[in-house]
Amino acid sequence: MPGTVRQDDIELLVGARHWDPFSVLGPHVIDLNRKKAVAVRAILPLAARAYVLTFEEGKKRRTEMAPIHPDGLFEAVFPHTREPFPYRIEIVDTEGHRRQQDDPYAFGCVLTDFDIHLLGEGTHLDEYDKLGSHLFRIGDVKGVAFAVWAPNAERVSVVGDFNHWDGRIHPMRNRGETGIWEIFIPGLAEGEIYKYEIRTRATGEVFTKSDPFAFRFEPPPRTGSIVCSIDGYAWGDAEWMAGRPARNLLEGPMAVYEVHPGSWKRKNAEGNGYLTYRELADELVPYVRETGYTHIEFLPVSEHPFDGSWGYQTLGYFAPTARFGPPKDFMLFVDRCHQAGIGVILDWVPAHFPKDAHGLNYFDGTHLYEHADPRKGEHQDWGTVIFNYGRREVENFLLSNALFWLGKYHIDGLRVDAVASMIYLDYSRNPGEWIPNQYGGNENLEAIRFLKRMNEIVHAKFPGAITIAEESTAWPMVSRPVYLGGLGFTFKWNMGWMHDMLEFIRKESIHRKFHFGQLTFSLLYAFHENFVLPFSHDEVVHMKRGMLDKMPGDLWEKFANLRLLYSYMYAHPGKKLLFMGGEFGQWEEWSHDRPLSWDLLKWESHRGVQALVRDLNALYRSSPPLHEVDFRPEGFEWIDFRDVDNSIVSFLRKAKNPNDFIVCAFNFTPILRKDYRVGVPAPGRYAEVFNSDSAFYDGFNVGNAGGVTAEPVPWMGRPHSVKLTLPPLGALYLRPSP
């Protein structure tokens, strides 16, 4: 029987160039000798013969399909049938093996017209539920629904082991001007590896891409996407999640342990392999709880191809990296954190993405996710490309991704990386290498709008969740609400304090008096933003040396200086963040290729630093003066910052209740100061609640025998004062006794 398909359709199908394969393949009502009939067509390049199987009155009928092209296009015509009917296809390969399958082209659309409308206008905030791959059922038929955005493609196919990576077999349905392509492939199940094969309209080039919305990927260096359901995990953190909206971290303690999960510890007995998410739950969670931190912040866990990027060059935005296990194991890790009373923050990277061929770059043969003009679209420093925030579909991709982690994985906060690079068009660019905005300025108006919208939506949909900006400039009101003109973040990293403090503390003590402004300058702007004080991973890499190794002096001075630095950090207004290894005084710079130097804990000096951090966390969490009024001047008051020659400062930290305060004094020289008088607000006994020189921390136990009594001696503008023994390179916290 001659075929009923036009020759140009045949050539387009077998050449894998057909824009609308559903208009030809599958069941179609045709005119045959002036009567209605049904033609069933299939493209089966690996078949020697093919049959249409129908079932009539309980009996199976096999109708052989006629080959209408030698490259595997088959057709069967049913002349006495006026409308499509249920059927399956039986394939006989060249070796005589038979198999049956449901025909993907016998099924209608999966995405509704309303879905398509929302996706097209960039307002589908649950975009991850529609695009990507999803286990799906149509009637009694189970399979997988695929959908991808590629508006400038001539043809898109799903390829994988299930079709021998042949783009002719499963070309997708085009849903019109939105650029969405979709297909339901029956018979596929969880665990299938796949990609999208895309033929670009402009040049005819054919390439394969990983799924931007995949929930799981092959472990690097492989790059396939994996069909994966992330539904059905039995969460045990209901109490944590129910209480989260009522937690006010602006007035509560927040001590963050920053972690790179691939190098915190390794399996030395197994070739130095990674700990899995489950093993991290068993080891990291109890450690963080014992050390007293309130939160774990992970460097990006979203899938990334290159270990050396530390996760900051993300490609699988919706997939926790397969390096440490499957997605539900990461859910288990978060769950265990919450059950232990620990929040989880993720580093999130909406600023840029890498140029890997299987990723987002040049996705459909055009600059789809990124700017075409390198003056707006390329990060020269990092060799990456910048998202086009002005494109509604790209903005929706990123908004959907932020909500995805907070919703599906119960994440408590997002720390947004490289915000400065997003909001400045001339970031790290020379004159002539950037394009001003429509008003002639250097502000990236589209990125600013995106960040504001992201923060508004996150805080509206997930009360109690936080967002943190890594913003390294003096951009105003980063952590102020959008309705007041701010960017809307909950917190901002205080990069200025971090750099000033490290520059100050690394100087030999004899020189510190000449640089006291680095110590005190931060208090001039400490209440302009809701600041986090970070000693992050960036400060212990690239020849910057480990935290302990930054300290000046001999071995004793190095440890004493480090204890002093952490003590000053915990007393200073702002939330706290310390990168892993810093809590026990790691000597070496951090490397993503090796675990932390846990063997150092055999030394009392390193155990002392660890004990100091643990006690600081405990005191910080239990003491309202140290955390309750972090972002208003009422929570801080200088006692004295003028004793430059002796390099001593003192101040008060105050709770909402003005009668609840802590006196903090710091000696930044290795000289013991006896009978050092400090003014205090009230008479009475002052308990020494913390001493960084305690023998518990491998110090010399120089102090004040547990406390001192105020004397009616006016000093430093106050009616009372105490005489202190200030330990060398030491810090004291004193609190009025009841």
Distance CA 255, CA 258 (A): 10
Helix (H, G, I), strand (E, B) or coil at 105: helix
Element (H, E) at 416: strand 413-416
Residue keyed to tokens 């265990």:
336
Residue keyed to tokens 């309750």:
628
List, in sequence order, the alpha helices (H) in 387-544.
392-408, 419-423, 445-461, 495-505, 516-520
Distance CA 120, CA 567 (A): 53
Residue keyed to tokens 């996706």:
119
**Has 470 been annotated as catalytic?**
yes
Distance CA 502, CA 570 (A): 15
Going from the C-alpha of 297 to that of each of 347, 612, 613, the distances in angstroms are 7, 21, 17
Residues 6+ apart with CB under 8 A from 179: 149, 150, 151, 152, 153, 364, 393
Catalytic residue among 470, 529, 615, 688: 470
Distance CA 201, CA 371 (A): 19
Q: Please list the residues that pair with 711 across neighbouring strands.
A: 721
Pick the closest to residue 732 from 657, 669, 649, 613 (CA basis): 649
CB 321 within 8 A of CB 372: no
Please, how many CA atoms are within 13 Å of residue 428, restricted to the half-sphere of its CB? Answer: 13
Q: What are 618's two structure tokens?
A: 């405990």
Q: What are 361's two structure tokens?
A: 């770059």
Q: Please list the residues that pair with 202 across neighbouring strands.
A: none
Distance CA 136, CA 183 (A): 11
**Has 197 been annotated as catalytic?**
no
Distance CA 104, CA 163 (A): 13
Distance CA 308, CA 590 (A): 12
DSSP letter for 362, please: T
Q: Edge-to-edge, what's the strand order for the sheet holding 26-32?
A: 26-32, 35-43, 73-78, 66-69
Going from the C-alpha of 723 to that of each of 593, 685, 686, the distances in angstroms are 50, 12, 11
Cα Dmax for the chain? 115
DSSP letter for 180, please: E
Distance CA 498, CA 110 (A): 52
Q: What are 461's two structure tokens?
A: 């949909």
Catalytic residue among 154, 417, 529, 539: 417
CB 585 within 8 A of CB 596: no
Pick the closest to residue 152 from 205, 213, 95, 91 (CA basis): 205
CB 721 within 8 A of CB 710: yes
Query: Which amino acids are annotated catalytic?
Result: 417, 470
